[in-house]
Copies of this chain bind each other. A is one copy, B any other.
Amino acid sequence: MSEPAAQAIHLETTDAVLQRFVGYHIKRTSNAILSDLARVLKPFDLRITTYSALALIIENPGLRQSQLAQVMDVERPNLVVLVDALEQRDLIVRDRVASDRRAYALRATPEGHTVYAAAHDAVVAQDRRLLHGLTDEQRQTLIDLAAVIRSNLEPPKP
Taking Cβ atoms with an 8 Å cutoff, the residues of A that contact B are 6-7, 9, 11, 14-18, 20-23, 25-34, 36-37, 39, 52, 55-56, 59-60, 62-64, 67, 70-72, 97, 99-100, 105, 123, 126-127, 129-134, 138-139, 141-143, 145-150, 152-153, 156
Chain A interface helix/strand/loop/mixed: helix
Given contacts A6-B99, A14-B56, A149-B131, contact A27 B22 (CB under 8 A): no
Copies of this chain, whole number: 2
Q: Which of B14, B27, B127 contacts A23 (CB 8 A)?
A: B127
Q: Is the CB of A150 within 8 A of B18?
A: no
A145 touches B138 (CB 8 A): yes
Q: Are A15 and B71 in contact (CB under 8 A)?
A: yes
